[in-house]
Chains A and B, each alone.
Chain A
Amino acid sequence: MNIVIIGGGPAGSEAAYRLAGEGYTVDLVEKENSIGGNLNNWHQLFPDRKSAAGLVKELQQRLNHPGITLHIDAEAREIAESAPGKFAVKLSNKTVLHGSAVLLATGYKVFDAKRKEEYGYGIYKRVITSAELENLFTNRALATLYGEAPKRIGFIHCVGSRDEKICNYHCSKLCCVTAVKQAIEVREMLPEVEIFCFYMDMRMFGPGYEEMYREAQERYDIKFIRGRLSEAAENIHGQVVVKVEDTLVGKPLRMTLDLMVLMVGMEAADGSGKLAGSVQVPLYPNGFIRPADPHTGTNLTARPGIFTAGSCTSPMNLTDTLTDARSAAWQIKKWLTGSDKHA
């Protein structure tokens, strides 16, 4: 029996590998020209600082399985139930794939920081996103970014997350720990630089995260200021002047930064809504796909035969994404062997 998996990121790749191992044939659809998804834009992973490229390679090698057919440069456009329990997935290259189950692993997209115009992204030269900082790490370009190494760097948390103004009420979960990880990496590269993190709350939910946060303060001399950035301006030297309220002290604060990093949050990928809509799978108000039940029905959707894996249902770290993908593989197997039809 064939399964169509949409999305070749960590979730889709892991699920494909697991399902192929169970003897199913799998069509894995990826809209870019290689697998890995957003992971391709990362340098190192928290909490163990594993190389992101290494993990992508590992996922890729596992796809060299005779049961897996990879369709790259192909975007899934629409899902239709051609017969009860039979699904047809139309691709942008006119191919139609058929499967007894469809797994949505469409992931997330990074928040477009231009939508928070007051932070000056795309307007001020020295404002970059966390994703771009990862790229600077990979290319070892941070120290010479503006001719000389920055002397003061600020990380702005919750850009595009927990923000009513842009209608993203949800927490993207990972930006806090990413900022801690990135701050430590910066410190390792530039021992003299001053580093500030401007946060609302530090949400250190995963194993080892809270320890990393403590280390960041104690060993790496990174300063955490509780307060949200209100506005940023550029001075004549091209530096970024920020206005923040330090809410623990209760006073407004002005600071000049040589580099400002926006910790961009996660939003539902554009494809999620389109594909889920084509099979009447409901979404949360924030655009992520709603599972059949938040406790007992994860990986399942309101439509039998349509499954989900990874961050298309909510912001998720890599550990949880891969676990979720394995869980999805098991749910699909259960459905296809008929022991749990209409679960």
Chain B
Amino acid sequence: MYYDPFVLPFTIGLTALLLFLAVKYIRWIRTFRKSERRKIRKGMFSLKTFRAAGEVFSECLLHRKIYRTNPFLGYMHTCFGLGWFLLIVAGKTESMVYHTSAFNPPYFAIFFRFFHPAKETFPYSETFAFITDLLLLFILSGLFLALAKRFWSRIVGMRKTTKHRPLDLLILTSLWLIFPLRFLAESFTSGLRGGGSFLTNNAGEFFAEFLPLDHLTYPAWWAYSGMLGLFFVLLPFSRYMHIPTEIVYIFLKNWGIRQGTKFNAFSKIQMYACSRCGICIDSCQLNSSLQMDVQPVYFLKKIRHGKEYESLIENCLMCGRCEASCPVGLTHNALRLSKRPDLSRITKNTYSYAKNAAMPAPAKVAYFAGCMGQLTPTVTRSMERILEQAGVSCTYIDKEGGVCCGRPMLLAGNREEAAVMAEKNRAILKASGAEVLVTSCPICLKMFREEYGLQIRIVHHTEYIDELMREGKLKTVPGEQRTVFHNPCELGRGCGVYKAPENILKHVSRKIDTDFDGKKSLCCGGSLANTSIDGRQRNRIAGDAAKAYAAYQPDVLVTACPLCKKTFATASAVPVKDIAEVVAECCRP
């Protein structure tokens, strides 16, 4: 039997950690609703599990998404994730080949070089030694980058990194020390009695020349085991809870569990799955324009450690840029929203004094300008012109006064109020008999699509115009204006509409591609979701965004949201137009 007392810290630490995790996860999942538990049972024995496993490999080990932020940052995470995993796998395989039995204690593989008499060879022993040395070098190179990142984060493409708690810095140190200690323990052993490969063997010979290795080797193994044990014991209290929890999150997500309207056990799993990598910080314009520390990393950190987080609940634009950049794929908007309390005051009776809105004339296509659409007559007029030109018979359901779609209330947390609005609008829509609902406002679009449960087609005006142009119903002439497109948060990241505006602008203008196309588009700062910042702060965000777009020297900054248009109007030196205006200018009969 292979055993030495130095393996105890590692073994005890690992056992304690696994017990703790098992209890924690089971307790969380037991609080899930019945329907969700059923989803888990069903999902477990389906292809979804394989998909989840694939995602675990690419995100938890390879860290694929981080490469999008910066290749060096991605490499650093691959070193730790994939490197450590492969080191364990290679070690375990090696131990099994040597021992010819699958059942050896877990510490045996970890401390193989200690137990294995170096002179004794076994099949592929040199190959194994080479692979484990290579993997150790791989991890150490990542460690070097991690150290460099502490001092100069720009080297891995990060302007600002997370401010960590002292305990997290302690466990960070213990994690970092694991690999150099393994390197030392293996090198010392090799220096004393041979074995190892290009890395540990050469290092061992080097150390043997001036160090009393017979006195240092055994303590080095103690230190290595102790550091592993310390890391395992501290892990549940630190941000490294993300390592096991992210795996659980990925499986649950693939089995169909979603963040609901309440902050529940699944929210906690998301919260613990946050690695505090800090990638969200640079993506957040409240940081880049206003230097505010309100990003998901801080929001979740404060909730988890019982700090004051209430002031952060409202201070979020819900633009979704953090979600788009989050390597763990957490649903930050839904998480933030789940903490906003429902303080609804409006009921069905609130507007009883107002006469019922006039029911619209029936037509197949209904156009809903929305509140912000009513405040931007240029947009609604352009739409009227376009629809007329294309020969679409359309009913303008909120032209003579309408009801808000309810999204502002929903974003404030007041779901009941939003439901009152939705009920009114559903009745109006039903009366119109429309089969297609067109809106110019992406905020309304998201609301109609996600909260109304309508059985008709709901499209944004960009999608509808694109369709009319493709079908040849709307004829346009190519425009000469150089345009840059600002994709509104609720349209792009919110509803996944990217292609339609792109197609349109390429037809009616000379569209300039920017770094902010697609998922990376900026927020104008006008967001309804943030009730915490004031007009001047909004204006600063808008000004910075406008400047970023202006750097491409467009003739016009084009957007597809009346709120974005209004927000930019005060902040942009470049003229701002809605995409409908640009199309209307290029219409021909």
CB A267 to nearest CB in B, in angstroms, measures 11
Nearest Cβ in chain B — how far from A151, in angstroms?
23
- Contacting pair A120 B536 (CB below 8 A): no
B381 within 8 A of A: yes
Binary CB contact string for chain B from 559 to 570 against chain A (1 if under 8 A, 0 otherwise): 000000110011
A114 / chain B contacts, CB cutoff of 8 Å: 569
CB contacts (< 8 Å) of A233 on chain B: these are 374, 377, 399
Complex contacts, A231 vs chain B, CB 8 Å: 374-375
Could you tell me which residues of chain A, from 230 to 279, have a CB within 8 Å of some CB in chain B?
A: 231-234, 243, 251-252
Quick one: which of A124, A164, A232, A252 contacts B535, CB cutoff 8 A?
A: A164
Query: How many residues of A sit at the interface, in one of the four size bands?
Result: 20 to 34
Partner of B381, one of A123, A232, A251: A123
Instruction: Output the nearest chain B residue to A164 by Cβ-Cβ distance.
Output: B535
Which of B374, B377, B565, B569 sits near A124, CB closer than 8 Å? B377
> Quick check: A120 and B377 within 8 Å, CB to CB?
yes
User: Among the listed B353, B378, B534, B538, which residue makes an inter-chain contact with A117, where contact means beta carbons less than 8 Å apart?
Assistant: B378
Min CB distance, A227 to chain B, in Å? 16
When the two chains form their complex, are residues A118 and B354 in contact, meaning their CB atoms are under 8 A apart? no
How far, in Å, is B403 (CB) from chain A's closest CB?
Answer: 13
In the complex, the chain A residue whose C-beta lies closest to that of B380 is: A233
Contact check, A117 vs B374: say whether CB atoms are below 8 A apart: no
A251 — which chain B residues lie within 8 A by C-beta? Answer: 353
Given contacts A164-B535, A167-B536, contact A117 B375 (CB under 8 A): yes
Secondary structure call for the B interface: helix
Q: Which residues of A contact B565 (CB under 8 A)?
A: 117
Knowing A123-B381, A233-B377, say if A117 contacts B570 (CB, 8 Å): no
A165 and B376 within 8 A (CB) = no
Q: Assess the B354–A252 pair: CB atoms within 8 A.
A: yes
| Docked complex Cα distance between A309 and B534 (Å) | 31
B:338-360 near A, CB below 8 Å: 353-354
B539 within 8 Å of A by Cβ? yes
A343 interface residue per 8 A CB criterion = no
Which residues in B have their C-beta under 8 angstroms from that of A166?
535, 570
Minimum distance in angstroms from A173 CB to a CB of chain B:
20
Partner of A165, one of B374, B377, B378, B535: B535
Question: B374 to A118, Cβ gap below 8 A?
Answer: yes
Within 8 Å CB of A252, what residues of B? 354
Closest chain A CB from B576 CB (angstroms)? 10
Question: CB-CB < 8 A to B539: which residues of A?
Answer: 167
Q: Which residues of A contact B376 (CB under 8 A)?
A: 117-118
Kindly list chain A residues whose C-beta atoms are within 8 Å of the C-beta of B401.
243
CB neighbours of A285 from chain B (8 A): 536
Nearest chain B CB to A131 CB, angstrom units: 20
A118–B375 CB distance below 8 A: yes
Q: Are A123 and B353 touching (Cβ within 8 A)? A: no
Cβ–Cβ < 8 Å partners of A165 in chain B: 535, 566, 570
Report the separation of the CA atoms of residues A124 and B377 in the bound assembly, to the nearest whole angstrom. Answer: 9
User: How many angstroms from the CA of A81 to the CA of B183 in the assembled complex?
Assistant: 65
A167 proximity list for chain B (CB < 8 A): 535-536, 538-539, 570
Least Cβ distance of B547 to chain A in Å? 16
Whether the pair B536, A123 counts as a contact (CB closer than 8 A) is no
CB-CB < 8 A to A120: which residues of B?
377
0/1 string, B17-33, CB within 8 A of A gives 1: 00000000000000000
Most buried by A among B374, B377, B565: B377
Q: Hey, which chain A residues are within 8 Å of B399, CB to CB?
A: 233
Given contacts A118-B376, A166-B535, A231-B375, 14 further A-B contacts (CB under 8 A): A114-B569, A117-B377, A117-B565, A118-B377, A120-B377, A164-B535, A165-B535, A165-B570, A167-B536, A231-B374, A233-B377, A233-B399, A251-B353, A252-B354
